[in-house]
Amino acid sequence: MAATVEPYHPDDAERLKPFYCQQWYRRPTEEASRLRLELINYYHHDREYTYRRDMRYIWLSEYMYTLKYTTVHPRVVTALLLKRFCNKLTILYYSPSAQGRGRVECDTLVFACILKKWNTCHNGRPHIDFGHFLANPVRLTSTGPTTRPAILSAHQALNEQTASFLDRIRNGAAGDANDFLDPANDKLLPICRAIILIFDQRPNYNRDDSDDYLYLDEAIDGMNVIMVLTGEDTALSEPITFESVKARALPLARPDASGCVDAIRVPIAVAVQFMADLLRKEAAFDPELIPNSIDRDLNPGDYVGVVRAPNAEEWVDGALQAADERGIDNVSSVWQIVQDIRASDRGEPCSLLWHDWFNSSWKGSRNE
């Protein structure tokens, strides 16, 4: 249970003097060190929260980019959509056969399972800056591209438009679109040109009858995906093969992919691990594949200016300085952490800094 956050009272200013006074945080006291450490934890937690929220948004069907026709319009990749295609390892094409009733919950569950596995593949600390993630989802309609060749053709068209748009931005010839991206960090990854994912079967999952929870580590076992090679792998360290996952292959069950050596159906968990391993391999070959810069748009921003801090230490300096200037109750991040520390000192359960899985009846695993 999360700790109860007490409402601010004027007398709290006196009680909080061990935590707050003019420039107190620069003094080498145990309380100051503890608060500073907790604020650093808050900084990383809030950045991850914002990242998860933004990623979930683009995975909801009503906001998911949709291909309604077999031919991709020459200007379908707009400035607002462009960022979704940047810094993703691939595109996951959401076939009509995988869609249906309860789509919002289904879409969120698929994303939550992929995110949980993606985090596990990176020891809980995946790169989150500039929208870096496994895949950007693209929903297909019954009138859009549904066969493997048609999806591959659409994928090539989307990549070409994305690459062309990015070139115009780097050359300063994209008008207002130059404000949407960071040319140094928003990139079309070469892995995205080389491989796609096709999600064409609805998830098969059940809640646990004993406690009515749905566990993501188990729900993901009821999901599978087709990985398809495009043949565009000249920019990679070496051609991609599926040799390492052949033992986990499932029946393709698609007439348009029967006998293909460039397509394989596997459990989603296997596909996510395969892509994570591929990223590590290609990042070792090309260190610029993953930006080293901090995406300041993810920074906590409950006060002006500090949100643009380039790292956690400077963000904490700014937060504490803002607390000095405005009062601790007017800087929500500092106030929240002080409350959290006080609750902990009283022996109360304290779990303000944790992430749920987008549904109160979902858990990442039975150990949570």
Range in 121-130, 139-148, 212-221 the model is least confident about: 212-221
> Are 334 and 237 in a shared domain?
no
Q: Which residue has the higher pLDDT, 10 or 259?
A: 259
122 and 257 both lie in a single domain = yes
Q: Could you tell me which residues come within 8 angstroms of residue 319 by beta carbon, excluding any fewer than 6 positions away? A: 39, 300, 303, 306, 331, 333, 334
CA atoms lying within 13 Å on the CB side of residue 188: 23
- pTM value is 0.86
pLDDT tens digit string along 230-245? 999 999 999 999 999 9
Same domain, 342 and 195: no
Q: Give the mean model confidence (pLDDT) for residues 103-116.
A: 82
Higher pLDDT, 184 or 227: 227
Q: Please tell me the predicted confidence (pLDDT) of residue 9.
A: 42
149 touches 137 (CB < 8 A):
no
Element (H, E) at 362: strand 362-363
Same domain as 211, residue 170: yes
Inform me whether the pLDDT recorded for 25 exceeds 60.
Answer: no
Total number of residues shown for the chain: 368
**Same domain flag for 74 and 113:** yes
Tell me the pLDDT tens digit for each residue of 47-87.
Answer: 999 999 999 988 987 788 888 888 887 667 777 788 899 99
- CA 43 to chain CA centroid, Å, is 17
pLDDT(17) > 60 = no
* Domain count along the chain: 2
- Residue 52 in any domain: the answer is no
pLDDT score recorded for residue 349: 66
Where is average pLDDT lowest: 21-35, 94-108, 114-128, 136-150? 21-35
Task: Name the domain boundary from 293, 325, 345.
Answer: 293
User: Which pLDDT value is given to residue 232?
Assistant: 94
CB of 218 closer than 8 Å to CB of 263? no
pLDDT-derived band at 2 (thresholds 50, 70, 90) equals very low
| 107/226 same-domain check | yes
Statement to judge: residues 289 and 208 lie in one domain:
yes
Residue 288 counted as domain residue: yes
Question: Which among 113, 31, 24 has a CA at the least distance from the CA of 324?
Answer: 24
- For residues 126-150, average pLDDT: 93
Residue 256 lies in a domain: yes
CB atoms within 10 A of CB 324: 17
Contact 90, 195 (CB under 8 A): yes
Residue ending a domain, choose from 260, 293, 326: 293
Examine residue 77 and state whether it is found in any structural domain, yes or no. yes
pLDDT at 14 over 50: no
Q: Tell me, what's the pLDDT at 13?
A: 43
120 falls within a domain: yes
In this predicted structure, the answer to whether residue 19 has a pLDDT above a threshold of 50 is: no
**Do 269 and 319 lie in a common domain?**
no
The answer on 311 and 269 residing in a single domain is no
- Tell me: do 226 and 350 sit in the same domain: no
Percent of the residues in the chain that have a pLDDT greater than 90, as a whole number: 40
User: If residue 90 lies in a helix (H) or strand (E), which one and from where to where?
Assistant: strand 88-94
Q: Is residue 7 part of a domain?
A: no
For 87-116, what is the mean pLDDT? 85
Higher pLDDT, 349 or 362: 362
Per-residue pLDDT, 367: 80
Residue 325's H or E segment, with its range, is helix 312-326
Q: Which of 274, 293, 312 is the last residue of a domain?
A: 293
* Beta carbons within 8 Å of 63's beta carbon, 6+ residues apart: 57
Is residue 135 scored above 90 in pLDDT? yes
DSSP SS3 for 225:
strand
Q: What is the pLDDT of residue 360?
A: 78
Instruction: Tell me the two tokens of residue 148.
Output: 């493997």
Q: Could you tell me if 37 and 145 lie in one domain?
A: no
Lowest mean pLDDT among 78-87, 184-193, 341-350: 341-350
Give the residue numbers spanning the domain of 80: 63-293
Cα distance from N-terminal residue to C-terminal residue, the chain:
13
Nearest to 50 by CA among 139, 105, 130, 106: 130
Flag whether 3 is in a domain.
no
Instruction: Give the mean pLDDT of the chain.
Output: 83
Residue 274 and residue 324 in one domain: no
**Is 228 domain-assigned?**
yes
Q: Given pLDDT bands bounded at 50, 70 and 90, which one contains residue 211?
A: confident
297-327 pLDDT, tens digit each: 899 876 656 677 888 999 998 888 888 888 8
Most confident region among 105-119, 222-236, 295-309 by mean pLDDT: 222-236
- pLDDT category at 178 given cuts 50, 70, 90 is low
